Amino acid sequence: MRPAVVIPTYNESDNLAALIAELHTYTPELTIVVVDDNSPDGTGDLADQIATQNPRVHPIHRPKKLGLGTAHIAGMKWAISQNMEPILTMDADFSHSPRYIPDLIRAIGTYDTVIGSRYVPGGGTLHCTLPRKALSRGANTFARLMLGLKANDCTAGFRAYRRAVLDSIDLDAIVSNGYSFLIEMLYQCEKRGWRIGEVPIIFEDRRRGTSKVSRQEIIKALDTVVRLRLESGRLPRVAIRRRAIP
Ligand SMILES: Nc1nc2c(ncn2[C@@H]2O[C@H](COP(=O)(O)OP(=O)(O)OP(=O)(O)O)[C@@H](O)[C@H]2O)c(=O)[nH]1
Ligand SMILES: [Mg+2]
């Protein structure tokens, strides 16, 4: 196995060096693909500097902030071109702890896609505010009800994919970007019948740097769920019930 992890970054200079060091402590053979969108705080330059010392770090530079989804895709395509497997994704802000990477890689022996999950026994969140927890729970319930997703944590960005899973999905056809990309990827995996596993993680709120989640991103995610539901050819249950009431 030649595992790779794709890490999208936008203004993560406070986190990147420590994150890479910790990742290699737990998983020395891991190739770390940093996809930076010309971060104003110099995260891209920092990734280049680290890469000169560390051959297991591969920076990808994009000209401007183009969103989480296309950043994941850019990193995945590079890892595929290098015959790496499994291909993981995670955030740069330590919300996804490097100590779980070995668990995700191990579970890929049994499953085709593995989610680092807050919502299975043993999983949870730490230092997250109540509104943040409610938003995550709400988005998950909405996605599960509307799309019939089986996974418990549908919005998690901490995942491992077998190569065949990514090959089976036309990555360029995934139109949603930002956070809704994560829901759409999971939808495409479940639709194709790939086995989805979840390993428990404790998700910690970011300690350094600033959040990039905007109200617009949240609305886009809701919009994506509705679009996927309509594309699947079934009407939302709520819509049917509403119509039945005189
Ligand atoms: N390359 C790239 N990375 C991004 C972009 N937006 C967010 N990211 C990165 O994606 C990861 C998740 O973003 P966060 O801001 O942590 O979003 P979040 O985890 O949902 O929210 P908080 O933890 O509350 O900040 C982080 O590593 C970000 O740096 C983007 O447009 N381009
Ligand atoms: Mg975060």
φ, ψ (nearest 5 deg) of residue 164:
-60, -30
Q: Record the tokens describing residue 87, joined without a space.
A: 């291909």
Binned at pLDDT 50, 70 and 90, residue 134 comes out as confident
Name which residue sits closest to atom 25 of ligand 1, judged by CA: 211
- 99 pLDDT more than 90: yes
Q: Is there an atom of ligand 1 within 6 Å of 220 CB?
A: no
Contact 15, 44 (CB under 8 A): no
Q: What is the mean pLDDT of residues 131-160?
A: 89
Q: Which atom of ligand 1 is nearest to the CA of 212?
A: 15
Q: Which residue has the higher pLDDT, 193 or 239?
A: 193
In single-letter form, the type of residue at position 193 comes to: G
Q: Mapped to the 3 state alphabet, what secondary structure does 197-231 carry?
A: EEEECEEECCCCCCCCCCHHHHHHHHHHHHHHHHH
To the nearest whole number, what is the mean pLDDT of the chain?
90
- 179 pLDDT more than 80: no
* CA–CA distance, 54 with 38 (Å, rounded to integer): 21
Percent of the chain with pLDDT over 90: 68
pLDDT score recorded for residue 245: 40
pLDDT score recorded for residue 110: 95
Binned at pLDDT 50, 70 and 90, residue 168 comes out as very high
Burial class (CB in 10 A: 0-12, 13-18, 19+), 187: buried
Beta bridge partners of 161: 87, 113
DSSP-derived 3-state class of residue 44: helix
Distances (CA, A) of 225 to 153, 228, 230: 15, 5, 9
pLDDT score recorded for residue 202: 97
Pocket test for ligand 1, best of 96, 158, 212, 216 (most atoms within 8 A of CB): 212
Burial class (CB in 10 A: 0-12, 13-18, 19+), 214: exposed
Instruction: Give me the DSSP letters along 58-109.
Output: EEEE-SS---HHHHHHHHHHHHHHTT-BSEEE--SSSSS-GGGHHHHHHHTT
Binned at pLDDT 50, 70 and 90, residue 72 comes out as very high
DSSP-derived 3-state class of residue 163: helix
* Predicted TM-score (pTM) above 0.95: no
Q: Is there an atom of ligand 1 within 6 Å of 89 CB?
A: no
- 116 pLDDT more than 50: yes
Mean pLDDT comparison of 22-26, 201-205, 209-213, 218-222, highest-scoring range: 22-26
Name which residue sits closest to atom 24 of ligand 1, judged by CA: 211
pLDDT score recorded for residue 241: 43
Q: Is there an atom of ligand 1 within 6 Å of 91 CB?
A: yes
Ligand 2 centre from 246 Cα, in Å? 45
Ligand 1 centre from 211 Cα, in Å? 7
What is the number of alpha carbons within 13 Å of residue 227 lying toward its C-beta?
13
* CA–CA distance, 47 with 57 (Å, rounded to integer): 8
Give residue 11's region: left, alpha or beta (phi > 0; psi -120 to 50).
left
pLDDT score recorded for residue 213: 66
pLDDT score recorded for residue 135: 81
How confident is the model over 220-239, as pLDDT tens digits? 778 888 888 888 865 444 44
